Amino acid sequence: MTHVLNIKDLTISLAGRPEFQLVSDINLTIARGETVALVGESGSGKSMTSLAVLGLLPPSTAIKSGEIAFASEQFGQLDLSQVPARRMNKLRGRELGMVFQEPMSAFSMVHKIGEQVGEPLTQHFRMKKPAVMAKAAELLDQVGIREPEIAVERYPFEFSGGMLQRAMIARAIACSPKLIIADEPTTALDVTIQAQVLRLLSQVQERVGAGMLFVTHDLAVAAQVSDRVLVMQNGRLVEAGTTRSTLRNPRHDYTKALVAAVPHMAVPGRVARDETTSHDPILTVRDVEVKYPGASSFTGKKAFPKRVLSNVSVTMQRGSIMGLVGESGSGKTTLARAVLGLVPTTKGEIEFHPSQGETQTITGLRPRALKQYWCKAQMVFQNPYASLNPWQTIEETLVEPIVQHGLARGAQARDRARAMLEKCEMPGDAMGRFPHAFSGGQRQRIAIARALVVAPELVVCDEPFSALDVSTQARIIALLKQLRAELDLSILLISHDLAVTSSLCDEVVVMEHGKVVEHGRSPEIFVSPKARYTANLIAAVPRLNPYETPASETAN
C-alpha cells in the first residue's frame, strides 16, 4: 500500500528545552483514500501533531526528532519536518488541504467568499480573477451551496456556520490535494449540519482521492468517517486499530474510559422522575412571542421586525431538568433569555412560581424587581473561557454576586463562596487563583458555583458542555445531577447535543423556526418521536456504532 503520509517516531518539545516533550514517539500512516482519526482530549497532542504535518507549529515548540514523510507530486518524497518555509508554502493549499475548527475565524470578513475559496488557485496556478470566481462557483456547487454564482459575491458574515464550513471544505479541495487535514471541523455545528458536513467530507475526499487526517475529541464522530482510529493521551499514542475493532473492543484503559463517557441516546441516566420532581410548576410560558428589530444600517434599507418566537407555551415542573433542543436559529436561546427577562416579549406571559411567596410575572419587570428575580434564576454560559473575568480571582468572582444581592459581606460571603466551590468539587485553595490557571472543565465548575452561590431555584444552562471533552462533559453532567438532588434545583438546559439531552433531561422541548414542535418526557421523545423534525434530529446524531439503527426508527 502506498502511503501519502508516514510519520515515524515524531517527538515535539519546547524550543530550546528538549527535555520538555509535548508529543513523543508518534507513528502514523495514511494511504491515499484512507481516513485516519486522531482522537484524544484537550492537551493530548493531537492538534500539535497535525500542525507539525502542516509546518505550522508555534515558535515556542520544535520538532526534536522523527520524520514526517510525504509523497509530493511536485517534489517527490519529502520529510516535512525538514522542508523550508518557502517550499511548505507551495505545498499548503495545493497538496495539503486544511479544514479548521472555527470557520468564522478562518475567513476574512472584508473579502468575498469567491475570492477566498479560489485563493489557492490564485496562489499556486496564477489564475486570473474571472477564472478563479468561475472555479470557486463550481467548487461551492460541489459542496452543496445553492446559487453558487451569487454566493461567490457574498461575504462570510452573510453565511451561516454550516455554509461557511462548506465553503472552507471547497477551499481545501480547490487544488485536488493529496492529503486533507480536518481539525475538529464539526465541533460548533448543530447535529444535522454536522451530519451533512461529515457526509460531504467523505464525498469530496473520495472525489479527489485524498487521504484524510481527522482530528477530533468525539469518538462518535470518528466512528462515522474513519477507517482507523489512533487514540492519544498526554502526547503519546496509547491505542491504534480499525475504527470498528477499537471502539467495540478497546484495549487500553484510557480508550475504555473515553468510550464509556460517550452519552448514548434514549438511555435514561437520571433519578426517577417521581423522586426528584413535584407536580408543581416552577415556570409557565404562555403564548410568548418575541420580535427583533429589522432595521439594517449596513444596507440602509428599512426592514420589518423579525419574529423569532411565535406562540410558545411551555410548563416546567419544579425539580426537573428540561432540555431545549433544536438547530441554530430555532429560538431556544431566545426563549431562555426571555425566561430570564433579558429580552422583551411582544406578546404572552412568563410566570415564575417560587417555593415561597407569590407567583411573579417576568414579562415587563422593572430593573429593581428584575434584579431580585435574578437571585432566584441564574445562568451558566456556554464558554467558560469567556464567561469568567480574567482579571478577577475566583474569590472575587464568587463573592461579587453574594454582595450584589445583599446576601452576605466580608468573611461570611467568602465562607459561603468557598463552601459552594467545594460543593462543585473544586478545592478551597482555588479561591486565590485566576481563571487562566484552570482547565475548561474546572472553569465550568467555577461558573456553576458562581450561578449557585446566591441559592437560585432555577438555573438556565446555555450549551454548558459544547466546549468540553467527552470525559470532562460526563463529569459535569454527573455534577449537575448531584447538585439538582442536593439543592432541589430546576434546570433549563439548552443544547444541540441530543445524546447529552437524552442522558440528562426529564423532559424535552423541541423547537423549530421559533415554534415548539414537540414537548414530552425524554424517553418518549427519543424513542418514539411524533414530529418528523424530531425524528430527523435523532437520526443525525453520530453513534459509536454507525451501523446501528436509531431507536426512533425502530419504534416507528
pLDDT 10s digits, 418-460: 999 999 989 888 999 999 888 888 889 999 999 999 999 999 9
Q: Domain containing 539 — which CATH number?
A: 3.40.50.300
Task: Name the domain boundary from 206, 230, 261.
Answer: 261
Q: Is 82 helix (H, G, I), strand (E, B) or coil?
A: coil
* Whole-number Å distance between alpha carbons of 195 and 362: 38
232/371 same-domain check? no
Of the residues 228, 261, 294, which one is the last residue of a structural domain? 261
Cα first-last separation, the chain:
44
Q: Tell me what pLDDT residue 409 has.
A: 92
pLDDT at residue 272 in the model:
41
Domain total in the chain = 3
Both 82 and 132 in one domain: the answer is yes
| Assigned domain for 412 exists | yes
Pair 171, 309 in one domain: no
Same domain, 195 and 84: yes
- What's the pLDDT score for residue 255? 93
Report the alpha-carbon distance of residue 99 to residue 400 in Å, rounded: 42
Q: Give pLDDT < 50 ranges for the chain.
A: 267-274, 295-299, 549, 551-556
- Clarify whether residues 230 and 285 are in a common domain: no
Q: 418 and 450 in one domain?
A: yes
Predicted local distance difference test score (pLDDT) of residue 144:
83
Q: Could you tell me if residue 268 is inside a domain?
A: no
Quote the pLDDT of residue 303: 58
CB contact set of 4 (below 8 Å; sequence gap of 6+) = 30, 31, 32, 70, 71, 178, 179, 210, 211
Q: Residue 67 belongs to what domain range?
A: 3-261
227 with 327, same domain: the answer is no
Contact 62, 15 (CB under 8 A): yes
Do 501 and 434 belong to one domain?
Answer: no
In this structure, is residue 304 part of a structural domain? yes
272 lies in a domain?
A: no
H/E segment holding residue 400 = helix 394-404
Question: Could you tell me the three cell numbers for 355?
Answer: 417555593
